[in-house]
Amino acid sequence: MIDQEQMYERYKRLLAEYMEGKNEETLYNGQLFSRHMIECGVSPEDVLSVHIEIMREFFPNMDERLESSFDFLLEAMIGYGLAYREHQNLRFKQRQLETEIDIAANVQQSLLVSAVPEIDSLDIGVISKPAKKMSGDYYHFVRDEQNFLSIAIADVIGKGIPAAMCMSMIKYAMDSEPEQRTKPSAVLENLNRVVEQNVDPSMFITMFYGLYNEKEHRLYYASAGHEPGFFYSSQKDRFEELTAKGRVLGLDRSTKYREYEKLIMPGDMIVLLSDGVTECRTKKGFIERGEVVDLIRKRMDRSAQEIVDSVYKELERLQEFQLRDDFTLIILKRRV
Amino acid sequence: MMMKNAPSRVEIHNEWDIVRARQSGRDYAKELGFGNVDQARIATAISELARNIYLYAKPGVITIEVIDDQGKKGLAITAKDDGPGINDLRQAMEDGYTTSGGLGAGLPGVKRLMDEFDILSEAGKGTKITARKYLR
Ligand SMILES: Nc1ncnc2c1ncn2[C@@H]1O[C@H](COP(=O)(O)OP(=O)(O)OP(=O)(O)O)[C@@H](O)[C@H]1O
Ligand SMILES: [Mg+2]
């Protein structure tokens, strides 16, 4: 708190000085003083009241109408003072909220980050970036003793905190999947039931689930309405769509998912993504899926992690560093 | 002027009554020795309370009285009505919450303008708000 007496005296000195000389330096000092008052929490009506008192002191014979005009102004400023206080309080609350969200985002990050397994035959690269503080994208890798690698990538339609909360539930459901290996179609069917039962009907989740057999180099996969990935055949030197059909999770509890299978040859690549990758909006409009492929192709000789990092950087730049949707890109490359 | 020891009681039916309540509060405040700013603050607080009665719970009563709490002199304003009551007090006391859409001071404003603030409300029965301000 600022001392009332002191404030009065200082304001009076500055005001008198200004009325004498009208010089800029006094105005500057007045500005500094007002900053000090703001810092001390003095509200506008208090400043005005001091001003009025000093005017009465300076001009004891002030026109009565002029004097009452000050009272009128004072009355009007009470409302501004309240709006100012409210604003300060809301600002404080916003800072608190942001801190809370930061903590929640950290919790979520530690929940969702899945270690990328080290595998002799596969080179794996992953990047996952939230558009806001919290992500609605999810991915995970699990490798079992029989050298099967399961890969999941999911996307909650929507962004921000609601999507992130939903994602945490998916993570929990995935963790409670039985220990032994399950067919991708069965995993999706089970998750579909969990989502249908537990998630608000306005929320949809898409997911791609794959199981890679490291001995036979076969990928078994199924998709619940997820953005199709790409398959690169080194033999044909061509990128193809990794199409898989299936309904979004949570629509209908009896949904069945079809399972697909692909033989992966040395040098082949599997690209999985969330729609934040393909729905990048640049100045020229949405980028085409083909452009994503071009970006990957240009960097194909690098390691999987280098490819995803560099594609992300390029797309981030194209969007002028503003992600509109959560971004997840995974590349699995069979080593030659 | 005679010292106002007796409380003033203003019934709120229409907007004109809001003005009367304000006026009465200002007179009491002036006589007790509140400065200009505090007079304006008290008048604004009364205005908000009376306006809420007028908008949501009329008729009601605004009572203004001088208090003396062990030498601590001040003014107490009570707004009482038998209206619908306020369902969610926490929400009503939140900054930025308003149904009138205006950037009014509202209940949080009244709390800020005064030194003490207390609110009792029961759905279907009514609301009683007491606010006090002391001479410094
Ligand atoms: N005496 C009352 N009886 C019943 N409901 C009330 C009463 N006073 C306030 N309320 C309820 O509490 C809400 C908050 O009141 P408050 O005065 O803070 O804001 P407001 O009247 O909506 O807007 P304004 O900012 O213009 O005053 C009101 O919208 C109203 O629903
Ligand atoms: Mg109101």
Amino acid type, A56: R
Q: Which of A74, A83, A85 sits opposite B40 (nearest CB)?
A: A74
Residue B77, pLDDT score: 98
Q: Which residues of B touch A89 (CB under 8 A)?
A: 95
The structure tokens listed for A112 are 């969702």
Q: What is the C-alpha separation between A159 and A166, in angstroms, rounded?
A: 10
A100 belongs to a structural domain? no
Is residue B70 pLDDT above 50, yes or no?
A: yes
Say whether both A169 and A309 belong to one domain. yes
The answer to whether residue A107 is domain-embedded is no
SS3 for A253-279, per residue? CCCCCCCEEEECCCCCEEEEECHHHHC
What whole-number distance in Å separates Cα of residue A51 and Cα of residue A57? 10
Q: Do A45 and B40 touch (CB under 8 A)?
A: yes
C-alpha closest to that of A12 among A64, A49, A51? A51
Residue A177 pLDDT level (bands cut at 50, 70, 90) = confident
Chain A residue nearest residue B43, CA to CA: A75
Q: Which two tokens stand for residue A224?
A: 């619940």
Q: What digits encode the pLDDT tens for the residues A229-270? A: 999 999 999 999 998 999 999 889 999 999 999 999 999 999
Are A159 and A272 in the same domain?
A: yes
Contacts of A192 (CB under 8 A, 6+ apart): A224, A247, A249, A250, A251, A252, A253, A255, A257
In a domain, A325, yes or no: yes
In tens, the pLDDT along B85-109 reads 999 898 888 887 766 655 557 899 9
Q: Mean pLDDT, to the nearest integer, of A61-68?
A: 93
Is the domain of A148 the same as that of A276?
A: yes
Q: Number of structural domains, chain B?
A: 1
Above pLDDT 90, what percent of chain A?
A: 58
Same domain, A240 and A282: yes
Measured in angstroms, the CA of B125 and the nearest CA of chain A are apart by 30
* Total domains, chain A: 2
Closest CA of chain B from A67, distance in Å: 12
Atom of ligand 1 nearest to the CA of B57: 3
Residue B1 has pLDDT above 50, yes or no: no
In this predicted structure, the answer to whether residue B3 has a pLDDT above a threshold of 80 is: no
Residues A77 and A119 placed together within one structural domain of the fold: no
Structural domain boundaries enclosing A181: 115-334
Token pair recorded at residue A103: 């903590």
Q: What is the DSSP letter of A121?
A: S
Residue B60 lies in a domain: yes
- For A284, the enclosing helix (H) or strand (E) is none
Residues A53 and A120 in one domain: no
Q: What angle, 0 to 180 degrees and rounded to 10, lies between the N-to-C axes of helices A160-175 and A64-112?
A: 20
The residues, ordered by sequence, that sit 6+ positions from B95 with a Cβ below 8 Å of its Cβ are: A86, A89, A90, A93, B108
The verdict on A119 and A89 lying in the same domain is: no
Q: What is the per-residue pLDDT for B100?
A: 60
Interface contact A78-B36, CB threshold 8 A: no
3-state secondary structure of A206: strand
Ligand 1 proximal residues by C-beta, below 6 Å: B 48, 52-53, 56-57, 81, 83-86, 92, 98-100, 102, 104, 106-107, 127
Instruction: Tell me, yes or no, if B112 comes closer than 8 A to chain A by beta carbon.
Output: yes
**Residues A88 and A38 placed together within one structural domain of the fold:** yes
Which residues sit opposite B132 in a β-bridge? B76, B116
Q: CB distance from B114 to chain A under 8 Å?
A: no
* CA–CA dist A195, A197 (Å, integer): 5
Domain identity same for A233 and A293: yes
Gyration radius of chain B over CA positions:
14
Let me know if residue B95 belongs to a domain: yes
pLDDT digits (tens, 9 = 90+) for A35-55: 999 888 898 999 999 999 999
Domain range for residue B116?
8-134
Distance (angstroms) between ligand 1 centre and the Cα of B77 equals 17
* Mean pLDDT, chain A, integer: 90
Contact A75 B35 (CB under 8 A): no
Partner-chain contact B96 A52, CB within 8 Å:
no
Q: Do A49 and B109 touch (CB under 8 A)?
A: no
In tens, the pLDDT along A105-124 reads 888 888 877 888 999 999 99
Looking at the fold, whether A151 and A16 belong to one and the same domain comes out as no
